[in-house]
Amino acid sequence: MAKAKTIYSCTECGGQSPKWQGQCPHCGEWNTLVESVAEVLPSAGKNRFSALAASGKLQQLAEVEASEVSRTPTGIAEFDRVLGGGLVEGGVVLIGGDPGIGKSTLLLQALAHLSQSQKVLYVSGEESAQQIALRAKRLSLDARSVNLLPEIQLEKIQATIAHEKPDVVVIDSIQTVYSEQLTSAPGSVAQVRECAAQLTRLAKSSGVTIILVGHVTKEGALAGPRVLEHIVDTVLYFEGDTHSSFRLIRAFKNRFGAVNELGVFAMTEKGLREVSNPSALFLSQHGTQVAGSCVMVTQEGTRPLLVEIQALLDASHAPTPRRLSLGLEQNRLAMLLAVLHRHAGGCVHQRGRRCEDH
């Protein structure tokens, strides 16, 4: 297979250069040139978008039959809730989270359930086959029907998917996959963008469901180019405190469902366990009423949750009292206090006493 020609495109102005330079010759910005694969003209008979172009035809919107997409349950109810009911044929899901949060564990459990009725493939670029086998054994999973491929080269992964024709594929992770068409290192902007685009094109043309595992930056955002989130159909974030056994998974983008659902898990010795009653996590166990705490009802998606709010008041020796909050943004706290001050029928002094002059 001949190696495609590479060019360097500016992320600011879109200008192209045949070689890398520190400064873009078109707009003058520094360090904005990233490597990409040059598009081949259709006249050469090698249009890279032929798979999508061949399936498209001109038609009127009124003639298109709109129907609900069929979904495949993963066997994990909380995961299906966030996905909108299950996996969609030809859909691409991107799940990100901190290292060690449980992404690989969750997906291995899901593939073990799916392998009972479908053909699945786990592509590992970070762990060896022995490590994954040990995890499955530790979690007591029946993963005998799960096909495993320790590989990071995109072309070999595509060839395996074309040969085996699986229904669901997990790529763990997209930052480790590289294409021979590019000379940059795995995890670079060009590699992540090109590999994600190629895998998405493969999913749409073949109908296979692909789940991509993504790394996150220290700010908590998905690592790699922003276009990665635009390419895929669903973006999920795995959240949780390293000092707590509970994990939350929520959708930030879902073309096939709502994005306001929340999945709750508990990390145990046997893997991630679903939490059917999340309200129990947010309520303290007190036999009697405790001063400074109240229980409010909030709704996350289609499920109501009970959340306990606790307040602590202490005398301030400074001219201006400090107001601190945990789990609530500071600006939102200031807004709530301003509303209370305006509509609660009075004001509160810094020592907690109600003002008798208002």
Q: How high is the pLDDT of residue 181?
A: 87
| Cα dihedral value 6, 196, 131, 107, nearest 10 | 180
CA angle (136, 87, 227) in 5-degree steps: 100
Q: Where are the domains of the chain?
A: 1-39, 72-280, 312-343
- What are the structure tokens assigned to 248, written together? 């939350």
Report the CATH fold assignment for 72-280.
Rossmann fold (3.40.50)
Q: What is the pLDDT along the chain (358 residues), one digit of tens a residue?
A: 556 677 888 877 778 888 888 998 888 889 888 887 765 544 434 444 333 444 567 888 888 887 778 899 999 999 999 999 999 999 999 999 888 889 999 999 999 999 999 999 999 999 999 999 999 999 999 989 999 999 999 999 999 999 999 999 999 989 999 999 888 888 888 888 889 999 999 999 999 999 999 988 776 677 666 778 889 999 999 988 767 788 989 999 999 888 888 899 998 888 899 988 888 777 777 777 778 888 888 887 788 888 888 888 888 888 887 888 887 788 988 898 888 888 875 555 444 444 544 4
Bridge partners of 168, per DSSP, are: 120, 209
Task: For the sheet with 16-17, list strands across it.
Answer: 16-17, 6-10, 33-37
Measured distance CA(157)–CA(169) in Å, rounded: 10
Measured distance CA(156)–CA(53) in Å, rounded: 24
Measured distance CA(163)–CA(121) in Å, rounded: 12
Q: How high is the pLDDT of residue 9?
A: 81
φ, ψ of residue 61 to 5 degrees: the values are -65, -35
- What are the structure tokens assigned to 302, written together? 């289609």
- What are the structure tokens assigned to 107, written together? 């997906």
